[in-house]
Amino acid sequence: MKSKPTLTLEDLHRMAAAAESHALANAWAVTIAIVDDGGHLLWLQRLDGAAPISAQIAPAKARTAAVGRRESKVYEDMINQGRMSFLSAPTLEGMLEGGVPILVDGQCLGAVGVSGVKSSEDAEIARAAIAALGG
């Protein structure tokens, strides 16, 4: 039987604090979502001023990154390059930049999804959250 690391509540707190700090330092009103490796929501935080729709988009980006085991931007790029059939992929709803998988020793532990500012800035916040894990 194989074993792998999993996210703890302490990990979630650390990642969320890093994401919030990065967003606030840049005056970005966003929603931060963290999911496990199956795309199940573990954390949702909507900062003051974040658009209500961002609370739907951030978890979708995170789920897409977790179950796809790659950044959600990969799917956005495929679609933008003409592979429109990817719009019919099951369970992938957040095919927009801003979802980043949490990879440790080649294993996906989950993902962080952010929504509320430019997509590249959303991804920047997600990466700041993951960097807080220190691994």
SS (H, E, C) the chain: CCCCCCCCHHHHHHHHHHHHHHHHHCCCCCEEEEEECCCCEEEEEECCCCCCCHHHHHHHHHHHHHHHCCCHHHHHHHHHCCCHHHHHCCCCCCCCCCEEEEEECCEEEEEEEEECCCHHHHHHHHHHHHHCCCC
Q: Find all residues with CB under 8 Å of 50, minimum gap 6, and list them.
A: 29, 30, 31, 115, 116
- The pLDDT, as a whole number, for residue 135 is 56
Percent of the chain with pLDDT over 70: 99
pLDDT at residue number 111 = 98
What domains can you pick out in the chain, each with its CATH number?
Answer: 9-131 (3.30.450.150)
User: What's the pLDDT score for residue 88?
Assistant: 86
| pLDDT tens profile 45-83 | 999 999 999 999 999 999 999 999 999 999 999 999 999
Average pLDDT, the chain: 95
Is residue 86 scored above 60 in pLDDT?
A: yes
Note the pTM of the prediction, 2 decimals. 0.96
Whether the per-residue pLDDT at 1 is higher than 70: the answer is: yes
Mean of the pLDDT values across residues 8-22? 98
Looking only at Cα atoms, what is the longest distance across the chain? 46
